[in-house]
A and B are shown apart, each in its own frame.
Chain A
Amino acid sequence: MALEITAARADPALLDLPWDTPLEEWPDEILAAYPRGISRHVVRFVKLSGRVLAIKEIKTDIARREYEMLRNLRRLDLPSVEPFAVISGRVSRDGEQLDGALITRHLQYSLPYRALYSQSLRKGTASRLIDALAVLLVRLHLAGFWWGDVSLSNTLFRRDAGAFAAYLVDAETGELRVQLSDGQREHDLDIARVNIAGELMDLEAGGLLQEDRDPVEVSERIMTRYRELWSELTDTEIVDTGERWRVDERIRRLNALGFDVGELAMTTDIDGTSIQIQPKVVDAGHHSRRLLRLTGLDVRENQARRLLNDLDSYRAALGRQADDEENVAFDWLHEIYEPLVRSVPKELARKMEPAEFFHELLEHRWYLAEKLKRDLSLPEVKEDYLANVLPTKPDEKEVVGVDTVEMPVVAWDD
């Protein structure tokens, strides 16, 4: 069998990689880092034609399945890594067949949870990661995706205005259904809970968990956060006919959680005294869609919320409430946002994304104002931030290496 590459846009440079060698033995000089995670499979990162790719060695049929699954998830607009190619037909130099490989693109500015723990962290990071994972799980479940192996290890995190946004990395065990049963959702949640507790206990055993909270207790949060969000997004509510404003209120509550209501089912009872309302279709990304529409900026949900708040205060400060929102947004973008994020020197740009930088500036303004007891302009704040804060932050554009061990238990060497 000849080496075969399946990809939407195959990069010929892929052929230059040493596919006749087991991934574990690839020479250091072609690897982007020495990535380690808790993984069942061997995973390596390489730099190819200017991008970082993650390569997972896995049986060809499973690789193909996961490749298709990731494509479907992206088609459904669910946050997941981008599949790049499947390699099959690998043969070693002495003629032995090798496993296939799944290649995904590295998600820029994303962080594995273990990398987050190797930095000195703000308190409550574990909780914020779990909150992000709960949102991801709810979104996947709403779309009918059963994950089967929910864990922090199978998730990547991106900073999102002080919080995190979670992305699915590993879809190997997943299945797409028309709709999930309660049993399937509960099972995913149970898996998530056990895995998270295990992962946090492992950090604790390795002395990496700075917080002294009990991992078991922290892991419980995935259940409560998930259930709260699920019920807010899907529960039926009974409203008195005279209280129709409560329909609007429900929609506003969903918007505040970052969801848009695509379809709302409303039924009145026989005597017409009450209305039942139930969201049927909800889409995540309420704020980021609004910001995209107004400014063309494509950022994550909390960042968008932050930027929109600043846009609103800009509008209020200039007394332009009567103006078209689009026109005000255009001016804000050109007068405020762009000049600030463009002024970051190149050597510091790898530290964080522009929208996160802008969020940091707003935070820093608040901090400086407290300290100096006066109002400050954003350009002023920026000078201080660039001089004193940003240089101390780690580069996060291409974090792939974390200091843990890879442990494929399927290998058999006794």
Chain B
Amino acid sequence: MATVRFDKATRIYPGADSPSVDKLDIDIADGEFLVLVGPSGCGKSTSLRMLAGLEEVNEGKIWIGDRDVTNLSPKDRDVAMVFQNYALYPHMTVADNMGFALKIAGVDKSEIRRRVEEAAKILDLEPYLERKPKALSGGQRQRVAMGRAIVRSPQVFLMDEPLSNLDAKLRVQTRTQIASLQRRLGVTTVYVTHDQVEAMTMGDRIALLKDGILQQVASPREMYDKPANVFVAGFIGSPAMNLLSVPVTQDGAKFGTHRLDIGRDELANAGSKVVVGVRPEDVEVRTDNDGLEIEVDVIEELGADAYVYGSPVSKDIHLEGSDEEGERPFIARVDGRNVPRKGEHIFVFPKPQHIHAFNQETGARLI
């Protein structure tokens, strides 16, 4: 077991204009499950591979425990890429399928047996150790494949989109299983995904990258409640946070007819506009003409709740993230028993304790 530290680690591909990973600084605690997440091309896989030793580190360092591993070969780093190869061997027993790589590494028989039994206990595979994989269910086979990585007892597990070729249902099941297994084993784990839901549900902490630059590293809760900038605010959460650029007034920000109290100090250097963010569940919906006027386009009924998709009536207000492909809708979650009709006009503003505000220029969080 070990801590992992990215210390201004940088990767520049030959001929590239900008680094693929730029001065990455992350401290990962012993036993922590850290998820690297971000859109494609953000540098998350490259970061993982730098840790694995598969990608050169051009500047900075990488530490595992108190060892500087920056220039060590993958083999000498004591890390295991999980799910890299999950083909099972049909003629070999479950125990041999789990332990064969140790045999190659020259581990002696009784030690192999001990580690395999230990892993089997964790994976609920004890009764099947002497069977052939054919006799197992699909789920059990998958656990055998996980066992192969576990018996190596590496200091760090690395997983690069391990669920990407599973269908949606399987993904949810396997996700839960990996997360609970990691907690039982307590092995430091770095996990890469492009899916923010996966990141939110699995990680102790999440590191969000964009264009090779770390945007924020925090717990899922903190990431959700206090996104460090507009990008994080828009990436984390589903449906996404509503983000609107609104005018700054003397005593706050103007959200339709409603005044948002953002704080004089925070607004001091913000310029004439700020980006206000409100999550769909934090929208106050009114019919008394207070707030931003929205025309309801679509209602999505979920039973207890409903999502309202609408567009600002004022043509001057646009949601951030709108582009040629179309305007982003304003989304509000409302009580399922009190749902506006399609075409109706409603008034909305953020609930006071749940306002997010960001600098229009830099995107940095104000409150």
Query: Taking beta carbons and an 8 Å cutoff, which residues of A are in contact with B?
Result: 38-40, 58-59, 62, 148-149, 151, 153, 173, 178-179, 181-184, 186-187, 190-191, 193-195, 197-199, 201-203, 205-206, 208, 216, 219, 404-405, 407-414
Among A38, A59, A187, point to the contact of B87 (Cβ < 8 A): A38
Nearest CB on B from A209, distance (A): 10
Stretch in contact with the other chain, from B96-104, B220-228, B249-257: B96-104
**Do the beta carbons of A206 and B90 come within 8 Å of each other?**
yes
**Do the beta carbons of A409 and B137 come within 8 Å of each other?**
no
Closest to B92 in A: A205
Q: B15 contacts which chain A residues (CB < 8 A)?
A: 178
Do A216 and B104 form a contact, CB below 8 Å, given A178-B15, A412-B170? yes
**Do the beta carbons of A38 and B88 come within 8 Å of each other?**
yes
Task: For the complex, give the distance between the alpha carbons of A245 and B206 in Å.
Answer: 61
**Do the beta carbons of A62 and B165 come within 8 Å of each other?**
yes
Do A219 and B104 form a contact, CB below 8 Å, given A412-B170, A412-B173? yes
Do A404 and B55 form a contact, CB below 8 Å, given A409-B138, A412-B138, A412-B142? no
**Do the beta carbons of A59 and B138 come within 8 Å of each other?**
no
Nearest CB on B from A219, distance (A): 7
The 9 closest A-B pairs by CB, nearest first: A206-B91, A202-B89, A405-B90, A414-B137, A411-B138, A205-B91, A409-B141, A414-B139, A413-B138
Closest to A219 in B: B104
Among A193, A216, A410, point to the contact of B103 (Cβ < 8 A): A216
B window 133-152: CB within 8 A of A: 133-134, 137-142, 144-145
Instruction: Provide a sorted-by-A list of 27 A–B residue pairs whose CB atoms are within 8 angstroms.
Output: A38-B88, A149-B84, A149-B85, A151-B87, A178-B14, A181-B56, A183-B54, A190-B74, A193-B104, A194-B104, A197-B101, A198-B89, A201-B96, A205-B92, A206-B90, A206-B91, A219-B104, A404-B90, A405-B134, A407-B141, A410-B86, A410-B138, A410-B165, A412-B169, A413-B137, A414-B137, A414-B139
**Do the beta carbons of A153 and B87 come within 8 Å of each other?**
yes
B window 117-145: CB within 8 A of A: 133-134, 137-142, 144-145
Among B75, B137, B173, point to the contact of A190 (Cβ < 8 A): B75
B73 within 8 A of A: yes
Count of A-B residue pairs with CB < 8 Å: 121
Closest to B14 in A: A178
B31 within 8 A of A: no
Closest to B165 in A: A59
Task: For the complex, give the distance between the alpha carbons of A184 and B85 in Å.
Answer: 16
Nearest CB on B from A269, distance (A): 27
Most buried by B among A411, A412, A414: A412
Number of interface residues of B (CB under 8 A): 42
Q: B169 contacts which chain A residues (CB < 8 A)?
A: 412
* Extra A-B contacts (8), CB below 8 Å, given A201-B100, A202-B90, A405-B90: A39-B87, A151-B85, A178-B15, A183-B55, A183-B73, A187-B74, A205-B92, A206-B90
Q: B87 contacts which chain A residues (CB < 8 A)?
A: 38-40, 151, 153, 407, 409
Closest to B163 in A: A410
**Do the beta carbons of B85 and A38 come within 8 Å of each other?**
no
Task: For the complex, give the distance between the alpha carbons of A151 and B84 in Å.
Answer: 12
Q: B91 contacts which chain A residues (CB < 8 A)?
A: 202-203, 205-206, 208
Nearest CB on B from A214, distance (A): 10
Task: For the complex, give the distance between the alpha carbons of A191 and B86 in Å.
Answer: 12
B64-107 contact mask (Cβ, 8 Å, vs A): 1 or 0: 00000000011100000000111111111100100011011000
Q: A58 contacts which chain B residues (CB < 8 A)?
A: 165
Task: For the complex, give the distance between the alpha carbons of A38 and B90 in Å.
Answer: 8
Closest to A405 in B: B90
